[in-house]
């Protein structure tokens, strides 16, 4: 790797939904669930489950990072303001959202290039197949697992609990 090639998840920067560059190093030592989202998809109701997980585990060091994407059936056609309003009003989303990105192809965001290489999908394919594909990342920044769109947020809860409890356990 060259010096400019990101070697860690924390080397990436993404633009928040309100236009600010955010270094992913901001989320160091936290368990992350990184999800490509869409507002007009059959899986859009997963926002409710994602928000519930976020609220339940946020104080233990769990963060969801939502990346709107319009590459699958043009199901995220809205502007940044429309996406933010939809997520807040319809699902009460309070976890960090970022500006719309591509997750596949030549213009794929570098973060997603990294994630898909670190956790290939079915039969080793790297491309993201649809909206609401999820990547679970441990506190050290390791991509632990990729989950398909069909995996409901609540079905990932046990894995999240395990990562939260086995790394940096809370002292009582």
* Residue numbers annotated as active site: 41
Q: Is 107 helix (H, G, I), strand (E, B) or coil?
A: coil
Whether the Cβ atoms of residue 148 and residue 121 lie closer than 8 Å to each other:
yes
Cα separation, 67 vs 160, in Å, equals 19
Distances (CA, A) of 135 to 78, 80, 88: 24, 23, 22
Handedness of CA 6, 148, 94, 64 (dihedral sign): negative
22-54 in b/e form (b: 16+ CB < 10 A) is eebeebeebbbbbbbbbbebebbebbebbbebb
Residues in a beta bridge with 145: 136
Cα separation, 131 vs 102, in Å, equals 11
């Amino acid at each position: 790797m060259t010096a400019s090639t990101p070697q860690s998840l924390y080397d990436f920067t993404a633009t928040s939904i309100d236009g600010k560059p955010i270094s992913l190093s901001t989320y160091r030592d936290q368990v992350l669930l990184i999800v490509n989202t869409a507002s007009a998809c059959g899986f859009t109701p997963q926002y409710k489950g994602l928000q519930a997980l976020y609220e339940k585990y946020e104080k233990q060091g769990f963060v969801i990072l939502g990346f709107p994407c319009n590459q699958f059936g043009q199901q995220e056609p809205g502007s940044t303001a429309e996406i933010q309003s939809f997520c807040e009003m319809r699902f009460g989303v309070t976890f960090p959202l970022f500006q719309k990105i591509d997750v596949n192809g030549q213009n794929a965001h570098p973060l997603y290039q990294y994630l898909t290489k670190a956790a290939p999908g079915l039969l080793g394919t790297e491309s993201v197949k649809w909206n609401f594909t999820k990547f679970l990342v441990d506190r050290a920044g390791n991509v632990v697992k990729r989950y398909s769109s069909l995996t409901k947020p609540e079905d990932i809860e046990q894995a999240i609990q395990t990562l939260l409890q086995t790394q940096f356990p809370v002292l009582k």
